[in-house]
């Protein structure tokens, strides 16, 4: 997968060159290319923004440098990139969306700033708009990093496919609790079943815990998953009794 990122602040993307995303790039499975929008700016100051027509606060990223930058970045590789604009007005990001996007060989992530980008670029060159939540950040850089990280870990071979399959949201529900050594920590023991070596019972316990965890913290997710009769009883009982939520 190739990710081109068009931004005014390429220096903030260091996290994409550490840990799992870094390994994904050294192994050749992923290529992340950063491009500074200012390279397509006007004049000595490489200006890319101007005041909004009609007045109002802030500045708008202008259509001309943006269009030139998008077209120049597209031309760097024969595979056409899907142009994705990170904006609080976009579709809220979900694991299902990340899974769909990860099937694309190339994406161009466009980071907005100030009051946003000229509407005509949204209409003509942007194919998808993504929000990472109902809050406003100072720019699209952190959202682009969130999206890039979520995409990179889905590229085959980047992480163990079994871990991806079991994670929260891939299964449609939240994850089960995890424990490691020591078996007793400050008087708190690991659940007996996990020490039993009985894989069938362990899997059953994990599924139950994942369902209870979801019923307690994100009951909205349960409406979207298929449960068998026993599982329905388990979460139904939990909802009727009102399992106490975490502190």
* Residues of this chain that bind ligand ADE (CB under 6 A): 86-88, 131-133, 135-137, 140, 143
C-alpha–C-alpha distance, residues 103 and 26, integer Å? 20
Closest CB to ligand ADE among 135 and 242? Answer: 135
Closest CB to ligand ADE among 136 and 165? Answer: 136
Query: Minimum distance between the CB of residue 8 and ligand ADE, rounded to whole angstroms?
Result: 13
Closest CB to ligand ADE among 132 and 222? Answer: 132
List the one residue out of 44, 63, 43 whose CA is nearest residue 53: 63
Sign of CA pseudo-dihedral 142, 144, 150, 155:
negative
For residue 143, what are the CA distances in angstroms to 113, 128, 150?
Answer: 12, 14, 11
Beta strands in the chain (DSSP E): 2-7, 31-36, 49-50, 60-61, 82-92, 106-111, 128-131, 184-185, 188-189
Query: Minimum distance between the CB of residue 129 and ligand ADE, rounded to whole angstroms?
Result: 9
Query: Minimum distance between the CB of residue 145 and ligand ADE, rounded to whole angstroms?
Result: 11
- Residue 132 tokens, joined: 């990472």
Query: Minimum distance between the CB of residue 131 and ligand ADE, rounded to whole angstroms?
Result: 4
Beta strands in 112-169 (DSSP E): 128-131
Closest CB to ligand ADE among 41 and 143? Answer: 143
C-alpha–C-alpha distance, residues 74 and 27, integer Å? 24
User: 112: which residues sit within 8 A by CB, 6+ positions away?
Assistant: 61, 85, 86, 87, 139, 140
Query: Minimum distance between the CB of residue 121 and ligand ADE, rounded to whole angstroms?
Result: 15
Query: Minimum distance between the CB of residue 215 and ligand ADE, rounded to whole angstroms?
Result: 28
User: 171: which residues sit within 8 A by CB, 6+ positions away?
Assistant: 165, 210, 225
Closest CB to ligand ADE among 1 and 86? Answer: 86
Closest CB to ligand ADE among 13 and 205? Answer: 13
């Amino acid at each position: 997968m190739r990710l081109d990122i068009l931004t005014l602040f390429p220096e903030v993307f260091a996290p994409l060159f550490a840990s799992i995303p870094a390994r994904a790039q050294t192994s050749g499975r992923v290529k992340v290319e950063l491009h500074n929008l200012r390279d397509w700016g006007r004049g000595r100051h490489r200006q890319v923004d101007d005041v909004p027509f009609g007045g109002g606060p802030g500045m708008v990223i202008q259509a001309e440098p943006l269009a030139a930058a998008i077209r120049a970045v597209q031309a760097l590789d024969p595979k056409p990139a899907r142009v994705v604009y990170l904006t609080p007005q976009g579709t809220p990001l979900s694991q299902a969306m990340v899974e769909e996007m990860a099937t694309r060989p190339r994406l161009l992530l466009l980071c907005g700033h100030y009051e946003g980008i000229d509407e005509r670029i949204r209409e003509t060159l942007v194919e998808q708009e993504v929000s990472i939540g109902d809050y406003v950040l100072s720019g699209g850089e952190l959202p682009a990093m969130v999206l890039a990280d979520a995409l990179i870990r889905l590229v085959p071979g980047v992480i163990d496919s079994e871990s991806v399959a079991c994670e929260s949201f891939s299964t449609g529900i939240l994850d089960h609790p995890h424990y490691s050594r020591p078996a007793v920590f400050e008087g708190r023991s690991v659940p007996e079943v996990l020490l039993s070596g009985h894989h069938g019972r362990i899997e059953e316990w994990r599924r139950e815990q994942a369902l209870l965890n979801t019923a307690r913290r994100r009951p909205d997710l349960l409406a979207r998953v298929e449960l068998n009769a026993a599982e329905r009883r388990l979460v139904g009982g939990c909802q009727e009794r009102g399992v106490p939520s975490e502190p």
